[in-house]
Structure 1
């Protein structure tokens, strides 16, 4: 396949930043138009008659309990929903509650009119030198378009906040790392609690995350979007938006069971509960409402596969809320090599779903694609920051922050 697949999308953003497209073309409405191109057909297995995801019945058949995210029509319905089980996480502004329920609790939720969906709070794994010129960001930077004045949120494994490539631009930190003994999950927040905010809360170079495989993922993602190699030896020249500020968020927990890590050799591992991601998305909205100039939230993670839009995904209310506020949620499409499907939450209609390309302008073999995909960006062999120095990684996780950074550049050009 020899198509200019990313040139017409991410490079278009850079062309706009350089003034080739009128400023009026860049508005919240235009972001909405791109993000809403997916089919608006419900995905998953819950139906209008039964909001319960059917596999949950199997998981609770022998008297076991399971963590679930319950989405209701409005917040007034939450108290009734919460009565069906033990509340393990609540939210300040969203019509969502995370419960631990048994089979009787599922039956109770199924009978409530205000319940839209009930899905498992599934733990999922985290899914530059050349690529910055590939999308035209080097020319934008030369023209002074560096993302200055905008802030991007990296919702991931945290960020090495004192890394030279990112130093002095992490302006806010938060950690949402659920503790659940039934799942073998412990906190990766530096203070050992399930929630931490403030300086050091998402610094993955310190605390329990520093020694675990996969904990450099967020630092790599942040460097692609907003790294700055000026004056640094052996560093990439720059990320896409080297003057953008960063909100660093840790949404992963440490897991000590083969059930979630896959094998004994891979244990312990880091995985992210959906509820932790929702907490982070809600926090981004709160920061934006308080005056932080957030332009995009990056989610380089996901699971499962969807060929149609997942309108019942538990993250949808938070992603919709951000888009209404003018904040794009940029999500990696996933690395399963699927031709007609993407992961969740990339399947949420309001998300900007990003697939990966190679330096040769072809879709990366591992990249998911299909009708739910919005954009392509480089994602093969990307050099960026890691906990100690710099390294090359591949994945749609690396493609998504190219778009996140480009949105910051676009916002600076057309405020």
Structure 2
């Protein structure tokens, strides 16, 4: 186990008895390893698992060969091959793979070990892609286990968008390694449009070079348990990063994102905004946002915010923003979190203009979530998500104002 390790095994039996185990206090001290055995099986008491649905995620904790025969995930990358955007990536030592990626939990370590070959998407140097590069990943069955490592690399001066679109059913462990070279401008959008029997855990790790820009978006609607944890390291001078998220959890769904933005370079700029809506018994969303401004990150300007709209009784949203600042020479830093019900004044305004209550509620939710949808910049995806939001709301038609349920 690399980095900070305070487990009894690391301390030794006698030391563990003599000294209390000190929990990891900051996101930057989290240990990492490429070996699954170094992590052990999560119990739900660990800092990065305590809000997760470990019972339903348990199949992804097993380190074993996946079944032979029909693959758990079908990849549709024919269009990328035609455009020359795919790069051969065979073996764990392939170029770029592992350049910045470090597994921080057992699921990520298993995916690293069990997926020998990566899917490597590269945007050519100095060129702008007129159309987004869309990778369609379709799960072939909830009983099929699949592991994946995906590399997205934007070469210096390149401009483009890469979309990971997930559908079907699967038990899917996924690593996504994102490298934005100096001067590049990249947008990465991960859409989780799974069937309700899917279990999906994904770790996205990104580094942004000098004068480069990365917009990272996580959009989660479908799936039984969806855990997409993105981290972004603004390493270069004047690197910029935006991290946006949108989720809609229905009855029995667990949608989670633990977000980390690390300001490492000087004069970096960062913005994090995640929004979620929840309806139905057992609907659950978890958002943990960590921002670290490093010792040398002078001139940093950073802000993070999470907002959740709870539509019915029986739904729960957990929201935990954290901000760690190691230098006082910054332009600004802040964080905010809010979870609540419908705004009665907004409803009154709409109803006073002849709109019935159900339609008024629908318009309020759409207006709340569309702020994120409109940041995507891909008309095809924006239109599909607008339809998905409307479908979710009509599925829960007749939403009544919640009385006292805790959020």
Q: TM-score, normalised by structure 1?
A: 0.31
Name the structure where helix makes up a greater proportion of residues.
Answer: 1
Bigger Rg, which one: 2
- Which structure shows the higher strand fraction? 2
* TM-score, normalising length: structure 2: 0.31
